[in-house]
Chains A and B, each alone.
Chain A
Amino acid sequence: MTGKARLLRMILGRLVLGLLTLWLISVLIFLAVSLLPGDIAQQILGQSATPETVAALRRELGLDQPLLQRYLDWMGTLLAGDFGNSLSNGRPVADLLAARMGKTLFLAAYAAAIAVPLALFLGILSAYRRGSLFDRAVTGLTLTMISFPEFFIAYVLMLFLAVRLPFFPTIADYGSDAGLIEMLHRTFLPAMALVLVVTAHMMRMTRAAIINLMAQPYIGMARLKGIGPLRVILVHALPNALAPIINVVAVNIAWLVSGVVIVEVVFVYPGLGQLMVDSVSNRDIPVVQACCLIFAAVYILLNLLADVLAIATNPRLMHRAG
Chain B
Amino acid sequence: MRFWHPMPWTARFGAVVIGLYALLAIFAPWIAPYGEAEILGGAFELWGGDHLLGTDNLGRDLLSRLIWGARNTIGIALATTLLSFALGAILGMAAAANTGLIDQVLSRLVDVLMAVPSLLLTLLALSVFGPGVLNLILIIALLDSTRVYRLARATTMNVIVLDYVEAARLRGEGMVSILWREVLPNISAPLIAEFGLRFCFVFLTISALSFLGLGLPPPTADWGAMVKENAALITFGDITPLLPALAIALLTVAVNFVVDHLLHLASGLKE
Do any CB atoms of chain A lie under 8 A from CB atoms of chain B in the complex?
A: yes
A residues near B (Cβ < 8 Å) are: 21, 24-25, 28-29, 32-33, 35-36, 40, 43, 140, 143-144, 146-152, 155-156, 158-159, 163-164, 170, 254-255, 257-258, 261-262, 265-266, 276-277, 279-281, 283-285, 288-289, 292, 295-296, 299-300, 303
Give the docked Cα–Cα distance between A229 and B241 (Å): 49
Query: At the interface with chain A, which of B31-39, B52-60, B93-101, B123-131?
Result: B123-131
B124 x A32 contact (CB < 8 A): yes
A155 x B117 contact (CB < 8 A): no
Contact with A along B100-140 (1 / 0, CB 8 A): 00000000000110011111110111111110000000000
**Which residues in A have their C-beta under 8 angstroms from that of B249?**
147-149, 152
B residues near A (Cβ < 8 Å) are: 10, 111-112, 115-121, 123-130, 200, 204, 207-208, 211-214, 224, 227, 231, 234-237, 239, 241-242, 245-246, 248-249, 252-253, 255-257, 260
Give the docked Cα–Cα distance between A151 and B127 (Å): 21
B123 x A292 contact (CB < 8 A): yes
**Which residues in B have their C-beta under 8 angstroms from that of A149?**
204, 207-208, 211, 224, 245, 248-249, 252
Give the docked Cα–Cα distance between A35 and B142 (Å): 14
Q: How far apart are A320's CB and chain B's nearest CB, in angstroms?
A: 26
Q: Which of A33, A40, A144, A164 has the most CB of B within 10 A?
A: A144
**Which residues in A have their C-beta under 8 angstroms from that of B112?**
21, 24-25, 28
Closest to B203 in A: A149
A257 x B130 contact (CB < 8 A): no
Q: Which of A36, A158, A276 contacts B234 (CB 8 A)?
A: A158
B127 x A288 contact (CB < 8 A): yes
Give the docked Cα–Cα distance between A289 and B123 (Å): 10
Q: Which of A147, A155, A163, A279 contacts B200 (CB 8 A)?
A: A147
User: 4 additional contacts, CB 8 Å, given A146-B256, A149-B204, A300-B116?
Assistant: A151-B208, A152-B245, A155-B227, A303-B115
Give the docked Cα–Cα distance between A279 and B128 (Å): 11
A280 x B127 contact (CB < 8 A): yes
**Which residues in A have their C-beta under 8 angstroms from that of B227?**
151-152, 155
Give the docked Cα–Cα distance between A24 and B110 (Å): 12
B130 x A288 contact (CB < 8 A): no
Q: How far apart are A163's CB and chain B's nearest CB, in angstroms?
A: 5
Q: Which of A147, A283, A285 contacts B253 (CB 8 A)?
A: A147
Give the docked Cα–Cα distance between A143 and B237 (Å): 27
Closest to B250 in A: A147
Give the docked Cα–Cα distance between A254 and B113 (Å): 13
Give the docked Cα–Cα distance between A281 and B228 (Å): 15
**Which residues in A have their C-beta under 8 angstroms from that of B126?**
280
**Which residues in A have their C-beta under 8 angstroms from that of B214?**
277, 280-281
Q: Which of B128, B246, B256 has the most CB of A within 10 A?
A: B128
Closest to A162 in B: B235
Q: Which of B117, B214, B246, B257 has the most CB of A within 10 A?
A: B117
Closest to A298 in B: B116
A261 x B119 contact (CB < 8 A): yes
Give the docked Cα–Cα distance between A245 and B245 (Å): 32
**Which residues in B have their C-beta under 8 angstroms from that of A257?**
117, 119-120
**Which residues in B have their C-beta under 8 angstroms from that of A150?**
208
Closest to A299 in B: B116
**Which residues in A have their C-beta under 8 angstroms from that of B255?**
147
**Which residues in A have their C-beta under 8 angstroms from that of B124?**
29, 32, 288-289, 292
B253 x A144 contact (CB < 8 A): yes
